[in-house]
Structure 1
Amino acid sequence: MRRRVAVAATGPSSLAAGQAVVAEGGNAVDAAIAAAVTSMSTEPGIVSLAGGAFVTVWPASGDPVLLDGNVVMPGRGLPREAFGGGVREVVTDYGGGVTMYAGHGSVAVPGALAACETAIARFGSRPWASVVEPAAAACRDGYPIGGAAARYLSIVADVLFGHDDGARTVTRRPDGSPFTAGDVARNTELAAVLDEISRTGASLLTTGEVGRALASEMVANGGLVTEADLAAYEVVVREPLRRAVGVWDIAVNPPPSVGGPMLAVMLGELARTGEPSWDDILRIQRAVLSYRVTVHDHSRDLEADGHTLLASVDRHGLAGLPTSASTAHISAVDSDGLACAVTMSSGYGAGVTVAGTGLLLNNALGEPELNRLGLHALTPGTRLASNMAPTVGRAPDGRVLAVGSPGADRITTALMQVLDQLCLQGADLDAAIRAPRMHVRFGRSGAALVEHEADPAIAAAVTRAGLPGLDHGDLSMYFGGVGAAYRDGAGGLRAAGDPRREAAVGVS
C-alpha cells in the first residue's frame, strides 16, 4: 500500500512542495523538509534560507533525534575592535513596538539549510535535489504573498528592508509599492541559487560561492561572519528531552535551546497536576517564565544551565527553580509512523541580502530578547539562544504527533496549552489548537502581565491571581500559530493548522 503523509504547512506553496515529494514516494521527513525549504524561500520577511532551524525526527522504530541547525555567534579570527559595530537601530510598531538592530553586524552564522540537508541524508527516502526543486520552481514561476508576510512587510518595508537594493526587490512589488496578501511574487535570483543548491548541496551557502560572497560583503560592511565561521559550522545531533504527559511520551528540543527546556518544565508540572485548571496554567507559566527572564536569559552557558534547571525541577518541582519573532513551523507524520517537526527562524531580518542572490539574511544578533548579555557579547562559535521547540510524541496505542509553533516566547506557552488539551484533557486535535490561550509576560520592571484571549474562565483566574490582564480578543495571532500532524491509533492521518495564523494542511 502506498505511503500516505499528513502535512501541516505555512501556506499553499509549502504544502504543495511537501505533497509533490509524497507523490514521488517521499516520507514524512521528505515532505517536511521540502515544505520547510519552500517556506524559507517564499515567505520574505518571515523566514529565510539564511537563518536557523531545528529538526526533530522520531523514526517509526527507535528513539527521537534532534538536529540542531541554529545560528551561531560569528567572528572567528577577528580582533576585538571588530565587534560592536555594523548595525543600525530599527524602531518599529510591530508587535506593539519592537526595537532591534539590523544590518550586516546583526547577522549570525546560518545553519537552517544544513540541518535540512542532514535530515534528508539521515531519514529521507528521496534525493536531496527532489526536495529542493519545488522551492526553485516556486521562486521562478511565482508564489502568493501570504497575509502574515504582507502584514509584517506593511510595517517594516521601509524602516527595515528599505536600505538595501536586493532587500527592496524581494520585499516589494516591481513598481516599488508594498505587497498585499495574494500578490504573486517571483525571486528569479534565488531560484538560480536553489538550482545550484539542488546540485551541489547546502555547502553553497557556507564554503561555496554564495558563502564566499557573504563573507566578502561582511568585511566591506562591518559584519562579523567570516569564511572561517562558515567553514566551521556543523549541525549538532542531540538527544531530545522526553516527558511523560498522560499516556504520551513527548520529545522536545534540549539545551542549549531555551524554548525546549522551558516547555519540558511546564509539561512536567502539568503532568504532576493531572487535570490542570487555568489557575494552574497561570501559576506554572508565571514561575517558569519569571525564572527565564531573571536567570536563564542571562546565562553564558545555556547547555549546562539548562540541564541544571531540569535536574533541579525534576527533584523539587517548581520550588526547585533557581533564584522572533519571525518564525515558521512545519509538521509531518506518515502512515508508517515516522514523525518530523521543523521550526525555522531568521529573526526580524537584517534588512540586507547577499548581492545578486535574492537571499535575505538573518538578524539573530540584533534580537534583544536573544542577546540579553548585550550586542556581540558572546564568544565566536557559541550557539545562540532560541525559543524554537519542534516537538514529536508517541502514545502506546500507536498514536503519533508532530507539533510546533512560531511566536517568539509564546512558542512554549502555546505548545504547553495545546499539549495539555490533547494529552491530558482528551481534546480533539482541532479543538486543542482552537482552545483559548494565555501568556504571562514580564516587563522590564519585572512585573507580570497576563495576556490572554477572550475567555471568562481565564479572566477569572487572572483576577484570582491578583495580576493585571490584557484581553487580546478571540484567536489572536500574538499567541502563536500551532501546526500539527497526527496519526491515530487505527493508522488514520490528520493535519491541523491554527486559525490564528495562516496554515495549509493536507493528507496525500
Structure 2
Amino acid sequence: MTSPRVAVAAPNAAAAEAGVRVAAEGGNAVDAAIAAIMVTMVNEIGVVSPASGGFVTLQVAGGEAVTIDGWVEMPGRGLPTDKFGRGVWDVTTEYGGGTTTSVGHGSVATPGGMKALDLAHQRSGKAPWREVVRPAIEVAREGFPLSRTSGYYLGYTHEIIFGWHQPSHGVVHDDDGVVIKAGTTVVIPELAEALELIAEAGAETLYTGELADLLVRDMADNDGILTAEDLAEYEAVVRPALIVPQNGWHLATNPPPAVGGVAMAAILALLDGVPKQGSWSPSELERLVEVEHAVLGRRLAELDEEDLRRQLVHGGPHSLTPGTRLTSNMAPSVARRDSDGAVLAISSPGSDRIPTALAQVYALYTHGGLSLEEAVEHPRVHVRVREDVVVDYEDDLPVSGSAHLPTRAMPPHSMYFGGVAAAFWDPADGLLAVGDPRRTGAIAVSASP
C-alpha cells in the first residue's frame, strides 16, 4: 500500500514536517493537518495553545464542505453571581499596532480546539489518534527553537502577560529572568505529559478526565470561572460551510456565528471580480480600501451594539451568558475550481486582519491571475476601524490618498498583516504549498510513492 502525497503549509518547519511524516506513516490529509496543528499548539508560544479554540473546514471528496466549530465559550455554569468579575484584568501593549488583552485566571474561556480536532479525526481521519499526536509530544519533550513570530510577540508581552504567572514566566524567561529570544531552544516537559494523556485517553481527558480535574482545580484556586460543568457540556459543532461562488471557483469558509468568513465573503462579493489582471490598478486599489472600510465598519458597529446589550447581563468582562460562543475572525477555507477540480486550502492568523489578508490573496490569485506564491507575497492593505479609521498598508503598495482616509505606512512583509498559508492541488501540476514571508511560514510536500 502506498502512502498518499500531501502538501502542508504551516507556521514552522517542525509542524510542516509532522504533517508529512504522519501521511508517510499511513495517515491521510486530515491526519497530516491535525498533526501539524498539534505541533503548532506546542511551539508557537503566545500565539497558539492546546487549551485554545479553533475551527476546521473540511471538504472530503464526494461530500459537502463543513466547518467544525471548536471556538471558545463563556464559562461559569453553575457559579453564583458573586464569582463573576474576579481574576481578570486588561493590559495594553504595542503589539500589532496596539492590542488590549484580558489576562488572569478569570480570562480563561471554555476551550474547544481539541474537541474540534478530535471530531475532525473521527469523521475523516485514518491514522490512529495516538500517532497523530505523537509528533507534538516529541517536540514538547525534546525541545524546539522559539519561532520569530513568538519571539516578536514575547518582546512586547513577556512581562505584562506572562510575568504575573510563575510557571508561564519560567517558560519564556531564562534563569536570569531575561526574556528568551527567537532561536532559543525551549523544552516543556509538563506539556509533553499532558499531551501523552491526550494521546492515550483522547481529547475527552481535557473535558471529563484527568486533565479536566487539574484544570478545574487550578481555576477554582485562582478566581477562574471555568467549571467542570462547562467542560463536560462543551461540544464541537458541525456547521455547513459558507459557500462563495465566484469566477469559476466555489470557496467554502467559516459560517456564522463566527464573523471572519462572513467578512471575507462580503469583501470578495463587493470587489466583484477585481483585480481584473495582475496587481491592483489605482482605481481597483481605491475600491479595495472602500470595500474593507464598508465591511469592517459595518461589522464593528453591529458587534459594538451587541456588546452594549451584553453589558446589561452581569456587566464587565463576564457579561456573556455561560455557554455563549465568543466572536471570532478566524476563516479557515477550502476552494474548488469548477473546470478541473483543483482544490485550495487557505487560512491565516492575524485577528481582524484575517479576512482582509485572505480576501486579498484569494482575489489576486483567482481574479488577478497571479501565481499562488505571488498572491501570498503581494503587498497588503488593511482598514483599521476601531477608534480612528486608518488605512494600514505595506509601503511598497501605492495606497497614499486612497478613499481620502488617513494612512499609515508599514514595512514590506510586516507581521501585522497576518501569515497566509496555502496548500494547492491541480490535475496538471500536482501539489504545491506556500508559506508567508511575514511570519516564519514553512512548507513540506511528501515525496511521490
After TM superposition, the score normalised by the length of structure 1 is 0.82
Q: Secondary structure at the match of 2:398?
A: helix
1:289 to 287, 292, 296: 296
Q: Secondary structure at the match of 1:54?
A: strand
Q: 1:394 to 1:301 in 2, by over 3 A?
A: farther
Mapping for residues 398-477 of structure 1, pairs under 5 Å = 398-444=341-387, 447-455=388-396, 457-459=398-400, 463-477=401-415
Task: Indicate the structure whose relative CO is greater, using CA pairs within 8 Å and at least 6 residues apart.
Answer: 1
Question: One-letter code of the match for 1:451?
Answer: D
Mapping for residues 321-360 of structure 1, pairs under 5 Å = none
Q: How many residues are paired up?
A: 435
Q: What RMSD over aligned residues (CA atoms) do the two structures have, in Å?
A: 2.0
Residues in 1 aligned to 2:301 and 2:308: alpha-carbon distance in whole angstroms: 15
- For 2:69, the equivalent position in structure 1 comes to 68
1:221 Cα deviation after fit: 1.4
Residues in 1 aligned to 2:162 and 2:402: alpha-carbon distance in whole angstroms: 45
Query: Contact 2:114–2:203 (CA<8 Å) still a contact in 1?
Result: yes
Residues in 1 aligned to 2:275 and 2:438: alpha-carbon distance in whole angstroms: 27
- For 2:27, the equivalent position in structure 1 comes to 26
After TM superposition, the score normalised by the length of structure 2 is 0.93
Question: One-letter code of the match for 2:381?
Answer: M
Residues in 1 aligned to 2:396 and 2:144: alpha-carbon distance in whole angstroms: 37
Question: One-letter code of the match for 1:418?
Answer: V
Q: CA deviation digits over 1:138-171, x for unaligned, max 9?
A: 1111111101111211221112111222112222
Q: CA deviation digits over 1:240-278, x for unaligned, max 9?
A: 100112111001100000111111111222236673711
Where structure 2 has 5 or more consecutive residues not aligned to the other structure, the ranges are none
- For 1:334, the equivalent position in structure 2 comes to none
Question: One-letter code of the match for 1:180?
Answer: K
- For 1:113, the equivalent position in structure 2 comes to 114
- For 1:381, the equivalent position in structure 2 comes to 323
Query: Contact 1:38–1:135 (CA<8 Å) still a contact in 2?
Result: yes
1:270 aligns with 2:271: yes
Query: Contact 1:246–1:271 (CA<8 Å) still a contact in 2?
Result: no
1:16 aligns with 2:23: no
Q: Secondary structure at the match of 1:457?
A: coil
- For 2:80, the equivalent position in structure 1 comes to 79
Residues in 1 aligned to 2:390 and 2:373: alpha-carbon distance in whole angstroms: 28
Query: Contact 1:245–1:424 (CA<8 Å) still a contact in 2?
Result: no
Q: CA deviation digits over 1:62-117, x for unaligned, max 9?
A: 21111100000001111122111211332323223333221011010001111111
Q: CA deviation digits over 1:386-444, x for unaligned, max 9?
A: 01000100002121000000110000000010010011111100001011111111242
- For 1:138, the equivalent position in structure 2 comes to 139
Where structure 1 has 5 or more consecutive residues not aligned to the other structure, the ranges are 303-367
Query: Contact 2:335–2:345 (CA<8 Å) still a contact in 1?
Result: yes
Residues in 1 aligned to 2:384 and 2:316: alpha-carbon distance in whole angstroms: 21
- For 2:155, the equivalent position in structure 1 comes to 154
Residues in 1 aligned to 2:177 and 2:402: alpha-carbon distance in whole angstroms: 52
> Once the two structures are aligned, what percentage of the paired residues are identical?
45
Query: Contact 1:45–1:171 (CA<8 Å) still a contact in 2?
Result: no
- For 2:436, the equivalent position in structure 1 comes to 498
Q: CA deviation digits over 1:32-63, x for unaligned, max 9?
A: 10000111012221110011010011112221
Residues in 2 aligned to 1:442 and 1:433: alpha-carbon distance in whole angstroms: 24
Question: One-letter code of the match for 1:110?
Answer: P
- For 1:204, the equivalent position in structure 2 comes to 205
Q: 1:301 to 1:484 in 2, by over 3 A?
A: farther
Question: One-letter code of the match for 2:177?
Answer: G
Query: Contact 2:7–2:20 (CA<8 Å) still a contact in 1?
Result: no
1:280 aligns with 2:280: no
